[in-house]
């Protein structure tokens, strides 16, 4: 009887141990499934809008502001980017400025606040993209830092995208150091999919705000996360330039 009790206890401990080991992997799969659900929903709504544009005689995805003068959200984002480039990014020095979105998507009927998604093949990730780097958004995916360019591309823009360096249940930007010059990423917004190429990687201090400013004449996406892995006293930065 005692031997049987020890056998049951041993099996129980084995199952508990296996659960502890497998839990992070299970949570990662659950997060990936949730992220894919958000992205599929975004794509479906995006495709519906594309069909309506085609029914109106506008064939193909628009790639310039001139084709989108009748879209209030696009115009708001474009005007935001123009103002940012014209007036400068001094407010980026205030960490609280990162959290409040520069544009409230709810005001444009987008209740889930998803602005698009980021795909990085080399890292094997697709992350929903939110405006404003508050904690709720960063738990759910990648975030555009407020006081940097809205994610629509264009000359004199630099969309700075932040994500956790791994979370308790998701890889996110954990493997960012695998990216090297020439690797590509894509950024899908409400109107288009933009492709960027890695041109530089760099480790900076949290106070080196000027390192992520807009660069004259360039169309950039900058990825940023904590560094080293599991610590946060530096930032790992990946600069990407638009190629299509």
Q: Which of 24, 31, 30, 22 is nearest to 172 (CA)?
A: 31
Does 35 reside within a domain?
A: no
The first and second tokens of residue 153, run together, are 């591309």
pLDDT per residue, tens digit, the chain (244 aa), is: 555 555 655 555 554 444 445 445 555 667 778 889 999 999 998 776 655 555 544 444 444 545 677 899 999 999 999 999 999 998 887 666 678 999 999 999 999 999 999 999 999 999 999 999 999 999 999 999 999 999 999 999 999 999 999 876 789 999 999 999 999 999 999 999 999 999 999 999 999 999 999 999 999 999 999 999 989 899 999 999 999 8
Q: Specify whether the CB–CB gap between 172 and 161 falls below 8 A.
A: no
Please tell me whether residue 92 adopts helix, strand or coil conformation: helix
Report d(CA 143, CA 100) in Å as an integer.
Answer: 11
Does 214 reside within a domain?
A: yes
Strand stretches in 2-152, DSSP E: 114-120, 125-131, 142-144
HSE-CB at 100 with a 13 A cutoff on CA atoms is 6
Report d(CA 212, CA 177) in Å as an integer.
Answer: 18
Boundaries of domain holding 149: 62-242
Does 113 reside within a domain?
A: yes
Q: Specify whether the CB–CB gap between 129 and 137 falls below 8 A.
A: no
Q: Considering its fold, how many domains does the chain have in total?
A: 1
Does 53 reside within a domain?
A: no
The first and second tokens of residue 67, run together, are 């084709």
Report d(CA 9, CA 199) in Å as an integer.
Answer: 56
Query: What is the pLDDT, as a whole number, of residue 92?
Result: 85
Report d(CA 62, CA 65) in Å as an integer.
Answer: 8
Does 68 reside within a domain?
A: yes
- The CATH number of whichever domain residue 124 belongs to comes to 2.40.260.10
Q: Specify whether the CB–CB gap between 115 and 131 falls below 8 A.
A: yes
Report d(CA 201, CA 205) in Å as an integer.
Answer: 14
Does 41 reside within a domain?
A: no
Does 83 reside within a domain?
A: yes
Please tell me whether residue 84 adopts helix, strand or coil conformation: helix
The first and second tokens of residue 77, run together, are 């984002």
pLDDT digit string (tens) for 102-129?
Answer: 999 999 999 999 999 999 999 999 999 9
Pairing verdict, β 142-144 and 125-131:
parallel
Q: Specify whether the CB–CB gap between 160 and 211 falls below 8 A.
A: no
Question: Which residues are tagged catalytic?
Answer: 164, 226
Alpha-carbon distances, residue 97 vs 77, 145, 241 (angstroms): 17, 8, 25
Does 198 reside within a domain?
A: yes
Query: What is the pLDDT, as a whole number, of residue 166?
Result: 80
Query: What is the pLDDT, as a whole number, of residue 186?
Result: 98
Query: What is the pLDDT, as a whole number, of residue 6?
Result: 54
HSE-CB at 220 with a 13 A cutoff on CA atoms is 24
């Amino acid at each position: 009887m005692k031997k049987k009790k020890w056998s049951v206890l041993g099996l129980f401990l084995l199952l508990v141990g296996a659960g502890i080991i497998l839990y992070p992997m299970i949570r990662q799969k659950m997060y990936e499934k949730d992220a894919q659900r958000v992205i599929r929903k975004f794509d479906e709504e995006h495709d519906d809008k594309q069909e309506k544009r085609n029914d109106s005689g506008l064939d193909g995805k628009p790639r310039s502001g001139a084709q989108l003068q009748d879209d209030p959200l696009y115009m708001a984002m474009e005007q935001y980017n123009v103002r940012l480039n014209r007036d400068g990014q001094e407010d980026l020095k205030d960490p609280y400025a990162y959290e409040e979105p520069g544009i409230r998507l709810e005001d444009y009927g987008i209740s889930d606040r998803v602005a698009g998604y980021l795909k990085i093949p080399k890292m094997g990730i697709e992350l929903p993209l939110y405006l404003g780097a508050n904690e709720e958004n960063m738990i759910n995916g990648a975030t555009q830092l407020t006081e940097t360019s809205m994610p629509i591309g264009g000359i004199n823009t630099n969309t700075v995208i932040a994500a956790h360096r791994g979370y308790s249940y998701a890889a996110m930007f954990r493997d960012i150091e695998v990216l090297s010059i020439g690797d590509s990423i894509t950024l899908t917004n409400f109107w288009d999919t933009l492709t960027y190429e890695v041109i530089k990687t760099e480790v900076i201090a949290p106070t080196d705000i000027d390192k992520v400013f807009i660069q004259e004449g360039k169309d950039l996406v900058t990825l940023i996360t904590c560094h080293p892995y599991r610590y946060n006293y530096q930032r790992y930065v990946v600069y990407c330039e638009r190629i299509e």
